[in-house]
Amino acid sequence: MKEYFPNIDIVNYEGYASSNPLSFKFYNSSEKVGDKTMAEHLRFAISYWHTLCGTGLDPFGNQTLMRPWNDVSEPMAAAEEKLFAAFEFFQKIGAEYYCFHDRDMAPEGKTLAESHDNLEKICKMALQLQKDSGVKLLWGTANLFSHPRYMCGAATNPDPKVFAVAGAQVKKMLEVTLMLGGENYVFWGGREGYESLLNTDMKREQEHFANFLHMALDYAKEIGFTGQFLIEPKPKEPTKHQYDYDVATVIGFLKTYDLIDQFKINIEANHATLAGHNFQHELALASAHGLLGSVDANRGDLLLGWDTDQFPTDIYDCVAAMGVILNQDGLAPGGLNFDAKVRRTSTDLADLFYAHIGGMDCFALALKVAHAIKTDGVMDAHIKNRYSRYDSGVGAKIENGNTSLVELERFALANDAPKPVSAQQEKLENIINQYLVKVIKSL
């Protein structure tokens, strides 16, 4: 087997003072933070599509990232080489998980049957490589957006023939995810939406999409796939409006179509900002509803405003994210998937390592800071205290649904007018910086 990264050894933890750019400064997989190791808390996964398939292509320019595993012209031979490169990368970077779409791993054939065969062949090889390396599959998904047949959607396509092909792709991908021991299965509907309402029956499209998800659940049950089903919101791009706009919209959709008990949500940082929210908002809302299942860890660029899928390096964002994750006692069976790509100007193979090291280090440091804040309980105490007036008296009656507008009017008339109580935002913001320094000084 050819070595694709011959100049790069397994990346080790060397601490923040190391001058070796190919070492972890903060991520020490076996180090305990509370009662779990960093690896158990963070459950890092590598995205096959960006790291192995990314070419640097953009709407204005051609390929800039020339990968040696793509130097093979026969598509199935190229898929095999890419697979070997993938597992070499996963092991050298020390990620326990990976995620992929069917078409990342194996090429589409001339017919659906040939596509199925291609996928099965490569996935059998992947299973062997998983066994040899110990690397596991976090989630599988079907690419229902690249092929021209999906230009008007997959499960929301006005043509049922397209719906059927999409169903066949998901059926096969569920079988393959089961074979590979995948812990989750993701639906991201990049083309499930519309470009114009002049030609769109929104209600019918949403009903079709819900039926599609129900069929997937039924089939998973039939074949014995017990992994977690996830839906990934994104407001737009490639489609102008996508039905799974954001967490709030997805909750409404899942409730309307009786899917709420079988699905959780996979939240991507860059999709949150595209929807006009921040990462923490989407995580906190999903978590509050018991629906935070997994995370696509990346970041956008607020000056560009599109889905740039950059590696996460913003410590404040990651501290906020880890705070929500720790509060719900982790993400398992979900994880932190780096749905992130190097810039098209980062053309070295080593850049793939620098990028992942940066993301893993950022989350490791954020884990420590968020854990220290949680252990001290200052933030939690502030929030608890802020709402404590609902613990008794009229507050408790409101909370339990035991009062009425008539009683509240009586209460309001009999009592003094409410006095302003400071929300102390700045004081809390300072605490984050204080803990950041505290943790850094303890390293």
Active site residues: 101, 104
In the bound state with ligand XLS, the residue whose beta carbon lies nearer, of 43 and 101, is 101
In residues, how long is the chain?
A: 443
In the bound state with ligand XLS, the residue whose beta carbon lies nearer, of 29 and 239, is 239
Query: At its nearest, how many Å lie between ligand XLS and the CB of residue 391?
Result: 41
**CA distance to 32, 109, 120, 150, 179, per residue, from 117 (Å):** 43, 9, 5, 21, 14
List Cβ neighbours of 77 (8 Å cut-off, separation of 6 or more).
none
4 binds, among Ca ion, ligand XLS, none (CB under 5 to 8 A by kind): none
The only residue of 282, 296, 317, 361 in contact with Ca ion, by rule CB under 5 A? 296
Query: At its nearest, how many Å lie between Ca ion and the CB of residue 69?
Result: 23
**CA distance to 23, 24, 443, per residue, from 17 (Å):** 10, 10, 10
The only residue of 192, 282, 307, 361 in contact with Ca ion, by rule CB under 5 A? 307
Residue whose entry in the numeric block shows the structure tokens 């062997």: 128
List Cβ neighbours of 52 (8 Å cut-off, separation of 6 or more).
67, 69, 82, 85, 86, 89, 104
Six-digit token pair at 271?
């999709």
The only residue of 184, 239, 242, 270 in contact with Ca ion, by rule CB under 5 A? 270
CA 388 to chain centre: 34
Render 334-358 in DSSP notation, one character per residue.
Answer: --EEE-----TT--SHHHHHHHHHH
317 binds, among Ca ion, ligand XLS, none (CB under 5 to 8 A by kind): none
Query: At its nearest, how many Å lie between Ca ion and the CB of residue 100?
Result: 12
In the bound state with ligand XLS, the residue whose beta carbon lies nearer, of 89 and 187, is 187
Residue whose entry in the numeric block shows the structure tokens 């098209």: 344
How far is 340 from 348, CA to CA, in rounded Å?
16
361 binds, among ligand XLS, Ca ion, none (CB under 5 to 8 A by kind): none
The only residue of 87, 339, 371, 439 in contact with Ca ion, by rule CB under 5 A? 339
Nearest to 282 by CA among 298, 299, 265: 265
Residue nearest to ligand XLS (CB): 188
185 binds, among Ca ion, ligand XLS, none (CB under 5 to 8 A by kind): none
In the bound state with ligand XLS, the residue whose beta carbon lies nearer, of 171 and 371, is 171
How far is 166 from 199, CA to CA, in rounded Å?
21
Residues lying near ligand XLS in the complex (CB under 6 A)? 101, 141, 186, 188, 190, 232, 234, 268, 296, 307, 339
Query: At its nearest, how many Å lie between ligand XLS and the CB of residue 309?
Result: 7
Query: At its nearest, how many Å lie between Ca ion and the CB of residue 118?
Result: 24
Partners of 377 in the β-ladder: none
Stretch in the footprint of Ca ion (CB under 5 A) among 213-221, 288-296, 361-369, 386-394: 288-296
Stretch in the footprint of Ca ion (CB under 5 A) among 30-38, 77-85, 273-281, 294-302: 294-302
Taking CB under 5 A as the rule, which mask of x and - marks residues 240-269 in contact with Ca ion?
Answer: ----------------------------x-
Beta strands per DSSP E along 51-173: 97-101, 136-141
Query: At its nearest, how many Å lie between Ca ion and the CB of residue 187?
Result: 11
141 binds, among Ca ion, ligand XLS, none (CB under 5 to 8 A by kind): ligand XLS
What is the distance between the terminal CA atoms of the chain, rounded to a whole angstrom? 40
How far is 169 from 155, CA to CA, in rounded Å?
11
Residue 88 in contact with Ca ion, rule: CB under 5 A: no
Residue 309 in contact with Ca ion, rule: CB under 5 A: yes
Residue 177 in contact with Ca ion, rule: CB under 5 A: no
Buried b (16+ CB within 10 A) or exposed e, 209-232: bbebbeebbeebeeeebebbbbbb
Query: At its nearest, how many Å lie between ligand XLS and the CB of residue 88?
Result: 23
For binding to Ca ion (CB under 5 A), which residues are involved? Answer: 268, 270, 296, 307, 309, 339
